[in-house]
Chains A and B, each alone.
Chain A
Amino acid sequence: MKTSPFRIFFNTGAWAVLAFLLLPLLVVIPISLTDTSYIGLPKQHLSLQHYENYFSSAEWLGATWTSIWIGVAVAIAATVLGTAFSIGCWLISNRASTIARWVLIVPILVPPVVQSLGFYRFWVKLDLIDTYFGVILAHTLLALPYVSISVFTALANLDRRITQAARSLGASVWQTVISVIIPAIRPGMLTGGIFAFIVSFDEIVGVLFLTVRTVNTLPKQIWEGIQESIDPTIAAVATFLVVLSLIATAAVSLRKKTA
């Protein structure tokens, strides 16, 4: 490969930017291992005390568990609803279905505070404030756009003639959907489901508006932790999450490579 100032500029530039992206994610690791009680690099030796803190705190663990199961519930609900929706739209493929698809992605565009305000007032009327169901419902709505986009992308690569063939061989609409379309779009559904989980797992603004005391999710616990006192336990939690993300990213890139 020839080198030229042009190439050097873009190449080093790109790596510098990527370092900027990566650095803040990694910085939590040494902080979480500090032997001090305040935020700082380890002084004398590495210490696991802040991890102990995390793993022995009922509050932190409870919040983590809550976030996980809410996330799973949201992923299931959003994937089922979003997949059915996208398949329906794909089969219809007219102006009305395009409008429907626009409606479903509105949550991406509305500012989080504004939608949370709307949720709040409505959830009060429905008695859903501070309930798990209320949070799951809100998160499902926020996750639906991501599921519908991923599933639709998968559908766009599907040959319409296959479904037509199935239909002409006498399969009903439901049979076609279940045994022809769904197996073909599984990767899109999986991506959508993972997205839905992450949307729910990371969501903070809605939770701040919709929960009081009963429901405590991990982001809420972190938010309150940051407000309360900037202590290294949050860094331990953050490290935990960053390492999970590293593994997830690696897994996805490897899968892409083998696929």
Chain B
Amino acid sequence: MTETTDFEAKADIAEIAVERYKQGLLTRRGFIAAMGALGILPALSGKTMAATTEIIVVNWGGKAKDILQEVMCDTYTKETGIKVTVDGAGPSAGKIRAMVESNAVVWDLCDSGAGSALILEKAGVTQPIDYSIVDKSKVLDGAVYNNGVGNYVYSYVLASNPKLLGGNVPQSWEDVWNVKDFPGMRTFRKSVRGMLESATMSMGVAPKDVYEALGTDDGIKASIDRFRQLREHVIVWGSGSDSQNLFLQEEVSIGNIWSTRAHLLKDQMEEGSFTVTFNGGVVAPGIWVVPKSNPAGTEEVMKFIAHAQTPELQVKWLEMIGCGPANPAAAALVPDSMQKWNPSSPENLATQIMYNDTWYAKNQISAEELYVDALIN
């Protein structure tokens, strides 16, 4: 039933159904049912979208959705007349793969991460970036892939709630593991990404030596053990909004969270109940990926990616939601007051380390195993 499906016949039946629907011979529900039964509803909706060239950009929802819409998409529409809509559905690697494999691609451009971009490329469900349209020189080193390109920069940072800690704020990862002086729950990501690094630093390893220390099995075990020690004080966040909720609901007093979420929290939380340090942070690029056979077509999406590299827009993106500019040319345009919150400002870059893809490609899966085992009761 898979490979032998007669698509032409289906398309023909679909056309008939469309006609009947237009003539009013088929009710809407009957129409949808007929389309659904033929299994062509998604394909059909994809086609109609292509005809009107709407680009669907998918990110992780919440305020980030509205801001991406305003800063990058609406400006593009103004320039070109092409409609760009942000969907906040959360383009996890699983969902992207699901969509491509089920021939039901409705997304054109997804806000993914370095690790996921590689996994997706390997699974063969994303398209190569066309670097004749997208300018490589407008992206930080290390954020250029075959099937993905950096869109903005974020960090894994140490955030805390001084109010819950009685004003005593942790300054380093060592402090985070010091439960006696810094009581309360901590939150870490439900994945080792950006987390093992902090555990390693908490043992006194210098930032620049972190991945070297994690280069051996013993090094990994040692930092996993740090989580085992701390686990009774840990709540795990799965999505960015999870981590935001945990701070907002005052469920946690300390956390290793994304700087973008921290940027939102600094405005949402009461004065004096939220602070962040980039000290010991891990800088990672967000990555655009394009699912195979996206409805709007390859070229349209590449043009949009190029548009999103504009330095002025990247600075605005930073101001509004804390996405650090991926375009090095933008750094100079960032106002001084914002530099403190900019994960890619020269000052902040100096105290952070770069997320190491090679390490993750080699060790992530086995490390995740150990991590889960260390954290669950």
Query: A–B direct touch, CB within 8 Å, in complex?
Result: yes
Residues of A within 8 A of B (CB): 38-39, 69, 120, 123-134, 136, 212-214, 224, 227-230
Contact among A39, A136, A212, A229 for B104, CB-based, below 8 A:
A212
List 21 contacting pairs A-B, 8 Å CB cutoff, sorted by A: A38-B248, A124-B98, A126-B1, A127-B40, A127-B102, A127-B103, A129-B99, A129-B104, A130-B102, A131-B35, A131-B36, A132-B33, A132-B41, A133-B33, A212-B95, A212-B99, A212-B106, A214-B42, A214-B45, A224-B61, A229-B248
**List of B residues within 8 angstroms of A127 by Cβ:** 5, 39-40, 42-43, 102-104
**Assembly CA distance A123 to B1 (angstroms):** 11
Contacts of B239 in A (CB 8 A): 227
Supposing A123-B102, A212-B98 touch, asked if A131 and B245 sit within 8 A by C-beta, the answer is no
A132 to B62, CA, bound (A): 26
A-B Cβ contacts below 8 A, count: 78
Known contacts A125-B2, A212-B95; A131/B39 CB under 8 A? yes
8 Å CB contacts to A: which residues of B209-261? 238-239, 241-242, 244-245, 248-249
**How far, in whole Å, are A145 and B95 apart by their CA atoms in the complex?**
30
The CA of A126 and the CA of B99, in the complex, are separated in Å by 13
Q: Quick one: which of B2, B106, B248, B249 contacts A213, CB cutoff 8 A?
A: B106
CA distance A214 to B2 in the complex (A): 22
A227 touches B241 (CB 8 A): yes
Q: Which residues from B are CB-within-8-Å of A124?
A: 98, 101-102
Q: How far is the CB of B69 from chain A (nearest CB, A)?
A: 15
Contact A133 B36 (CB under 8 A): yes
Return chain B residues, CB-CB under 8 Å to A214.
41-42, 45, 106
C-alpha spacing A229/B264, complex, angstroms: 13
A229 to B1, CA, bound (A): 42
Q: Given A125-B2, A131-B42, A212-B89, A229–B98 Cβ distance below 8 Å? A: no
Of B32, B33, B42, B244, the contact of A130 (CB 8 Å cutoff): B42
Asked whether any CB of chain A lies closer than 8 Å to the CB of B29, the reply is: yes
Interface status of B87 (Cβ within 8 A of chain A): yes
Q: How far is the CB of A164 from the nearest CB of chain B, in Å?
A: 40
Q: What is the bound-complex CA distance between A66 and B87, given in angstroms? A: 19
Residue ranges of B at the interface with A (Cβ–Cβ < 8 Å)? 1-2, 5, 29, 32-33, 35-37, 39-43, 45, 61-62, 87, 89, 95, 98-99, 101-104, 106-107, 238-239, 241-242, 244-245, 248-249
Determine the chain B residues whose CB is within 8 A of the CB of A123 once the complex forms: 102
The answer to whether A228 and B61 have CB atoms under 8 Å apart is yes
Q: B62 to A125, Cβ gap below 8 A? A: no
Q: Is the CB of A133 within 8 A of B87?
A: no
Residues in A with CB closer than 8 Å to B249 are 39, 230
Q: Are A227 and B45 interface neighbours, CB within 8 A?
A: no
A127 to B35, CA, bound (A): 11
A120–B95 alpha-carbon span in the complex (Å) = 12
Bound CA span A54–B102, Å: 33
Query: Which chain B residues border A224 with CB–CB below 8 Å?
Result: 61
A125 near B95 with CB under 8 A, answer no
User: A132 to B35, alpha carbons, bound, how many Å?
Assistant: 9
B3 closest partner in A (C-beta): A125
Query: How far apart are A77's CB and chain B's nearest CB, in angstroms?
Result: 11
Tell me the minimal C-beta distance from B149 to chain A in angstroms.
24
Residue of A nearest to B238 (CB): A227
Bound Cα distance A213, B98 (Å) = 12
Residues A213 and B89 in contact in the complex (CB < 8 Å), given A227-B241, A229-B62, A229-B245: yes
Name the B residues within 8 Å of A227 (CB-CB): 238-239, 241-242
Once bound together, how far apart are the Cα atoms of A194 and B132, in whole Å?
A: 59
Given A127-B103, A212-B98, is A133 in contact with B37 using a C-beta cutoff of 8 Å? yes
Query: Are the CB atoms of B32 and A132 closer together than 8 Å?
Result: yes
CB distance from A31 to the nearest CB of B (A): 13
* CB nearest neighbor in A for B2: A125
Residue from B5, B33, B39, B62 within 8 A of A228 (CB atoms): B62
- Which residues on B sit within 8 Å (CB–CB) of A38? 248
- Nearest residue in B to A131 (C-beta to C-beta)? B36
The list of the 9 closest CB pairs from A to B, nearest first, reads A133-B36, A127-B39, A129-B102, A131-B36, A124-B102, A125-B2, A131-B41, A228-B241, A130-B104
A229 to B61, CA, bound (A): 10
B245 lies within 8 A of A125 (CB): no
- Check if A69 sits within 8 Å of B29, measured CB to CB: yes
Question: Within 8 Å CB of B61, what residues of A?
Answer: 224, 228
Q: How far does the Cβ of B228 sit from chain A's closest Cβ, in whole Å?
A: 27
**Complex formed: what's the CA distance from A130 to B101 in Å?**
12
- Residue with the greatest number of chain A CB neighbours at <10 A, chosen from B35, B37, B102, B244: B102
* Contacting residues, chain A, for B99 (C-beta < 8 A): 129-130, 212
> Is A120 in contact with B39, judged by CB distance below 8 angstroms?
no
Chain B residues whose C-beta falls within 8 Å of the C-beta of A133 in the assembled complex:
32-33, 36-37, 41
- What is the CB-to-nearest-CB distance from B362 to chain A, in angstroms, rounded to a whole number? 29
With A227-B238, A229-B62 known, 12 other A-B pairs at CB within 8 A are A69-B29, A124-B101, A124-B102, A129-B42, A129-B102, A131-B35, A214-B41, A214-B45, A229-B244, A229-B245, A229-B248, A230-B245
Please give me the residue from chain A that is nearest to B61 by CB atom.
A228
CB-CB < 8 A to B89: which residues of A? 212-213
Residues on B with C-beta less than 8 A from A229 are 62, 241, 244-245, 248
* Chain B contacts for A120, CB-based, 8 A: 98
Distance between A42 CB and nearest chain B CB, rounded to angstroms = 18
Chain A residue, CB-CB nearest to B102 = A129
A126 to B42, CA, bound (A): 12
Q: How far is the CB of A8 from chain B (nearest CB, A)?
A: 38
The residue in chain B whose Cβ has the minimal distance to the Cβ of A125 is B2
Question: Are A213 and B87 in touch, CB under 8 angstroms?
Answer: yes
Query: What's the nearest-Cβ distance from chain A to residue B361, in Å?
Result: 27
Within the assembled complex, what's the spacing in Å between the Cα atoms of A228 and B62?
7
B95 closest partner in A (C-beta): A212
